[in-house]
Structure 1
Amino acid sequence: MDKNTLFMLFGKWINPINFLNFQEEIVKLQQDKYVKKLTTKAFLLLMLHAQLHEKESLRAISDGLLDEDLQAELGLDSISASQLSRKNNEVDPSLLSRVFLDLVQEIQSHRHHSIPKRMPLKIIDSSTIPLNLTHYRWAEFRKTKSGVKLHLRLVFADHHQAYPDKVTITNAREHDRNQLEVLVDDKNVMYVFDRGYMDYKTFDYYFDEGIFFASRLKKNAVVRILESFSVTEGSPITSDSMVVCGTPQSRTENVFRLIETVDTKGNQIRILTNRFDISAEEIGEIYRSRWAIELFFKWLKQHVRIKKFYGMSETALQNQIYIALITYCLLVLLRLETDAKQSLLQLKRWLQVLLWKSYESFLKRIHFRKKQQLKGVP
């Protein structure tokens, strides 16, 4: 990246990527050993550009190189769809996974990243991406269906600060519970997950190891109430109890806390936790934060290219998912860097339009919008 690129918005957007480490990994994995034209770095930048603009196919990505600014950035004046396809199938997904994890560290260490007043929350969930069985036989999980499952952990500070920090990609047949061992690895946070992760032995292990969690309990789960506590009048909490869960044949060894509350539609929700040091209302609010990961998956599927893929191999699919996550992290870092209050979607739209303009023009747009908001302009 030359000095002129850094003054452009595109250069500023991709600047958090540690290209020195990236190049070292490329050499170590011999990714560019016989490459004459499309280097792995150029491939990454081109695919990030494609994700930002939600390009629908490799041919559309190839045609995008008619843009002279993009040509100058990549050092390429053209590339065929077939060359892109080969590169997409050759790049080691671990290389892009490392870029993603490095960006997560950048987000966590950013000076504008506020420290939450309460114990940090990490929300765990998965999303299934359906695939065409004819083209993705390797991902078959039913007789008539193929698919992969994106298992993800989302760091949640508030509704304006949420980002993924760990991900695994498996066949869609993989049960969510099997990924808890990978996604739960820190005693200094509180984990939140849905009833698909319910496992009494695992919950007992968390209790013994001092790993805090809140999980929705299945409707048919058997519980035995040992003690009930009073609840505040007018509170959304309907009950607060100490319980053991399960049948005599398979029961928790430890005593847990069961909170019963209602959602916005009036449906009853039962939340199991090993936190006894905070109020039932706080437990209810913590579990409601789980909705942030649903919004995250919705954002990914609507605003980057993750539902339809540029290649049919497992490698190509994983590469596209990691590049989509890298795109998201770069947008988060851009918002932190500029201290912008706009949504990521708004920043993404401005980025698309001003991509080859100066970074200063992007900052002026943000500050202009702030002034409008201060004046009450919608």
Structure 2
Amino acid sequence: HPAILRDAKVKYSYADEPIRLVEFEDEEHRLYRLMTTRWDLSAEQIMDLYRYRWMIETFFKWIKQHLKLVKIWSTKPQGMWNQMFLALAAYGLALILQLQTKSKKKLWPFLRLMRTYMYKSYDEFIEELHRSKSKTTRGRQKIPIPKKKETKFEGNIAIIKPRKKK
């Protein structure tokens, strides 16, 4: 593979046996050095595994942030898959409900509102969803700093020229 720069057997001071070193570059020319004990895979497979690993990491980060799937309730693989599929199904249903109600809210406030009105009627939820904002002002604003007066220099004396009021 053209992205792989080196595939070598190296002696690492903390390991008794030789370790495999795989160096490769990504599309943005960032250099990666991976050390592994896997000799049964090709250098290209090791590179792909590393890339896929980061895609999986970002997927789990997204799940934790958006689906509130922080605590896994089961230690068995089937229980973990079930919990993930249920969370994804709930997320998908929330997206469908958001599209059906034509809500202009972002998904996170929409989900928060769904949780708040979970045990109330659907009509109350829709009414709250399309309620106009009660806050009419933009809140406390910074006071603008007045601009300095223009000065005109004539010889050794500075004369302050008064500004005309608009």
TM-score by length of 1: 0.21
Higher strand share: 1
TM-score by length of 2: 0.44
Structure with the bigger RCO (C-alpha within 8 Å, sep 6+) is 1
Higher helix share: 1
